[in-house]
Amino acid sequence: MLRPYRETLLAPGENVALITRPHVFTFWAQAIGAFVLMVLLLAAAVAVETVIVLPPDLANARRWITLALLVLALLGLVAVLAAWVRYRSKEIVVTERRVLRVSGVLSKDVIDNGLDAITDLQLRQSWMGRIFDFGDVDILTASETGRGEPDRFSNVAGPVQFMHAVQAQREARRPK
């Protein structure tokens, strides 16, 4: 069985404290347009096949028009499935040593922030984010404080839990 890609990134003995991903709204934001278009195209195919009276010169093309509408609707379904795969391919992993952001389906993009390099966390959460439990978390490191470009984790599901996990792992690493 295939291991999740995140497991190949972990060092021997490295334990995962939290796994999260962008909020499910990010999927719906991509998929809703394709889904609506798919339903409209299916309705148009049914209408062409059963209701609409075509001009005599297009009467023989009825089947082709229906087929074209159904193929386009199928492409809408493929777009919804592609949005789901893109959504599921994004993970944010907090371990006892670092914070990883993994994305990509076939080729992977990994951003690795060591816990020792993190100086601060910043949360931006709208009123909708507070209701539905998502927000943007900026990870500030010593190298970013001068240039003002934090590493932004956008639309994180459970951003407060994410911040707590990072802070707990940072505290556990401090010498006693």
Range of the domain at 45: 27-86
Tokens representing residue 68 in the block:
């074209």
| Residue count of the chain | 176
User: Same structural domain for residues 82 and 106?
Assistant: no
User: 122 lies in a domain?
Assistant: yes
Phi, psi of 64 (to 5 degrees): -70, -40
SS3 144: helix
Same domain (yes/no): 152, 96: yes
Cβ proximity of 115 and 99 under 8 Å:
yes
Q: What is the pTM of this model?
A: 0.76
Domain of residue 146, CATH code? 2.30.29
Please tell me what DSSP assigns to residue 52.
Answer: P
The two structure tokens encoding residue 62: 């009825």
By CB neighbour count within 10 A (0-12 exposed, 13-18 middle, 19+ buried), where does 60 fall? Answer: exposed
Tens digits of residue pLDDT in 129-157? 999 999 999 988 876 545 557 788 889 99
Q: What is the pLDDT of residue 64?
A: 87
pLDDT digits (tens, 9 = 90+) for 25-80: 888 888 898 889 899 999 988 888 887 777 777 777 888 888 999 999 999 889 89
Which contiguous run of DSSP H or E holds residue 170?
A: helix 159-173
Whether 3 is in a domain gets the answer no
